[in-house]
Amino acid sequence: MSKLIKSVRGMYDITPDEVWIWQRLEKLVTDTLNAYGYQQVRFPIVEQTALFHAAIGEATDVVEKEMYTFENRKGESFSLRPEGTASVVRLVLENALIRNQIQKLWYNGPMFRYEKPQQGRKRQFDQIGAEVFGLSGPDVDAELLLLTHRLWQLLGIEDVRLELNSLGTSECRQRYRSVLIEYLNTYQDQLDDEAKKRLHSNPLRILDSKNPDLKEIIANAPVMTDHLSAEAQDHFAELCQILDHCGLPYQINRRLVRGLDYYTHNVFEWITDSLGAQGTICAGGRYDKLVEMQGGKSTPATGFAMGVDRLVVMIKNKNHWQVPARGDVYVVIDPCWSVAEATALVEKLRDALPNLSVLLNLGGGSFKSQFKKADKSGAKFAIILGQDEKDQGLVSMRSLTDREAAQQQLTVADAVELLQQHNI
């Protein structure tokens, strides 16, 4: 016997007992984004590696350590997408979607990063993201935050808080970067190897370090909000004012930074304490320079990405979603009916009941065993095709949820009408 080939470490299967959670979550998200006027886009899983080097930044963990990169037969370098924003920017530029236009777009799909697999963080992970192009004001940032808050309510997720900060303009960030490097330089001997490596390439990421030995140094470091321009301060203040007026609570976290180089102005994270170390379930912010960095005209942009895998874990832990039935109607057949006759009748039922799931018993079996299958399917009604029904050109219908209800013999048309009336 051949050795069983297993899935790649950090990749995963989604089995039927869980996939319904993903489907329900994705439908709620799709409906909500559509209601806010966002349109879906889809883009390749594989992109040119240069796209992520230019957009994410050479000195980030994603580019340095985590990308799945390979060469094709021509020696060209390609990578599995580690995030969605860079690809959406390429998409809108390549398809001329933002020439004097405002675009509100969203996407859903798998991303890939080579990192240590743990709960809520796999090497393949799904993201749902939204990106807006052509709007520079904080009103759209507020809309994204209110949209995500609405999603948590729809998904029944309560243990989550919003943290905000401002990174200012790219000029503010550059000034702060110089101040931060100067401060950290005074602690060169106490910095770990990772911090020393990041000191001149990406010093803001040192503020995200989880090394307890650096805790005091980070706590005393200068903060970005002390180095914001008047423009950046006003932008952030207006965002907070909108959220206050809408009653959306938040915390200002002056240490909050985003690990990718393209962020400017407002940044945010939705954080939960129920997932251990992987507490961020949604994050994003404004990236007004990224379109220009990728060869387009200067275009304001903002967006977010949420980790679907982490949301599914939270929903499962809550256990407040009822497992859906696999069918609405289960058709039980006597051997006197040929497979062809029963199948043709069930297809007519499906034509007449397009919004219901009609399951035909497959593989034969006694009436007793078929009714066991019907009960297990979660269907509310059984339609019975027996000898009497065949002789009279009728069907019988029985409730599978109300055992006291009488079984009825009906024409197919009457059975369809009755099922429609029950609105199952």
Q: What is 83-98 written as a DSSP string? A: -SHHHHHHHHHHTT--
Strand order in the sheet with 329-333: 358-360, 329-333, 381-385, 395-399, 408-410
34 with 146, same domain: the answer is: yes
More confident residue, 100 or 397: 397
Q: Is residue 117 part of a domain?
A: yes
What does the alpha-carbon distance between residue 312 and residue 129 come to, in Å, rounded to a whole number? 16
Predicted pLDDT at 61: 63
> Is 370 domain-assigned?
yes
- Of the residues 264, 292, 318, the one at which a domain ends: 318
Assess if residue 241 is contained within a domain.
yes
Which residue is associated with the tokens 């507490």? 279
- The encoded tokens of residue 349 equal 């039922």
- Mark whether 379 and 251 lie in a shared domain: no
Residue 6 lies in a domain: no
- Residue 176 has a pLDDT of 86
Distance (Å, whole) CA 283 – CA 269:
4
Q: How far is 69 from 112, CA to CA, in rounded Å?
A: 10
Residue 4 lies inside a defined structural domain of this protein: no
- CA 422, CA 193: separation in Å to the nearest integer? 67
C-alpha 323/C-alpha 321 separation (Å) is 6
| Confidence band, pLDDT 50/70/90 cuts, at residue 206 | confident
Write the CA distances from 102 to 93, 143, 147, integer angstroms: 13, 15, 18
Q: Which two tokens stand for residue 58?
A: 């050479």
Among the residue ranges 48-62, 228-242, 322-336, 342-356, the one predicted with the least confidence is 48-62
Region 269-277 average pLDDT: 86
- CATH number for the domain that contains residue 42: 3.30.930.10
Above 70 in pLDDT, residue 53? yes
Count of helices and strands (H, E) across the chain: 15, 16
What is the per-residue pLDDT for 133? 98
Provide the pLDDT for residue 58.
58
Q: Give the CATH number, domain containing residue 401.
A: 3.40.50.800
Q: Is the pLDDT score of 263 beyond 90?
A: no
Radius of gyration of the chain (CA): 28
Going across the sheet that includes 77-80, the strands are: 46-48, 77-80, 69-71
Token readout for 118 is 């743990």
Looking at the structure, tell me whether residues 262 and 350 fall in a common domain: no
The mean predicted confidence, pLDDT, of the chain is 91
CA–CA distance, 257 with 281 (Å, rounded to integer): 15
Of 209-213, 233-237, 276-280, 377-381, the one with minimum mean pLDDT is: 276-280
pTM reported for the whole predicted model:
0.88
Query: 307 vs 223, which has greater pLDDT?
Result: 307
310 and 360 belong to one structural domain: no
Any long-range contacts for 277-286 (C-beta under 8 Å, 24+ apart)? 277/118, 278/118, 278/119, 278/120, 278/121, 278/310, 280/307, 281/157, 281/160, 281/306, 281/307, 281/310, 281/311, 281/314, 282/148, 282/306, 282/307, 283/258, 284/129, 284/144, 285/141, 285/167, 285/258, 286/141
Q: pLDDT category, 191, cuts 50, 70, 90?
A: confident
| Four-point Cα dihedral 167, 172, 175, 176, nearest 10 | -20
58 and 134 both lie in a single domain: yes
Residue where a domain stops, chosen among 318, 352, 376: 318
Claim to verify: residue 44 and residue 124 sit in the same structural domain: yes
Query: Comparing 43-52, 157-166, 261-270, which segment has the lowest mean pLDDT?
Result: 261-270
**416: pLDDT strictly greater than 70:** yes
Residue 163 has pLDDT above 90, yes or no: yes
The pLDDT > 70 percentage for the chain reads 96
Q: How confident is the model at residue 219 (pLDDT cuts 50, 70, 90)?
A: confident
Task: Kindly report the length of the chain.
Answer: 424
Beta-carbon contacts of 292 under 8 Å, excluding residues fewer than 6 positions away, are 298, 299
Over residues 324-337, the pLDDT tens digits come to: 888 899 999 999 99
Q: Decide if 44 is inside a domain.
A: yes
- 85 φ, ψ to 5°? -60, -45
Q: Which pLDDT tens digit goes with each residue over 101-146?
A: 999 999 999 999 998 887 767 999 999 999 999 999 999 999 999 9
Tokens of 418: 């009755």
Same domain, 271 and 342: no
Residue 302 forms part of a structural domain: yes
Judge whether residue 283 has pLDDT over 70: yes
Q: Let me know whether 297 and 380 are in one domain.
A: no
130 and 270 inside one domain = yes
Mean pLDDT (whole number) for 15-25: 95
Q: Which residues contact 213 (CB under 8 A, 6 or more apart)?
A: 190, 192
Residue 128's closest CA among 272, 270, 289? 270
The answer to the question of residue 218 being in a domain is no
Domain enclosing residue 395, as ranges: 329-422
Q: How confident is the model at residue 64 (pLDDT cuts 50, 70, 90)?
A: low
The number of folded domains in the chain is: 2
User: Would you say residue 94 has pLDDT above 80?
Assistant: yes
Does 253 score more than 80 pLDDT?
A: yes
Query: Which residue bears the tokens 């200067």?
Result: 298
Residues 288 and 385 in one domain: no
Closest CA to 198 of 66, 58, 82: 58
Q: What is the pLDDT of residue 261?
A: 63
Nearest Cα to Cα of residue 293 among 282, 285, 301 = 301
Overall average pLDDT of the 48-66 stretch: 75
Average pLDDT over residues 339-368: 94
Q: Which residues pair with 96 in a beta bridge?
A: none
**48 and 155, same domain (yes or no):** yes
User: For residue 259, what pLDDT is reported?
Assistant: 59
Look at residue 194 in the predicted model and tell me its pLDDT: 83
- 338 with 272, same domain: the answer is no
Alpha carbon distance 299, 105 (integer Å): 15
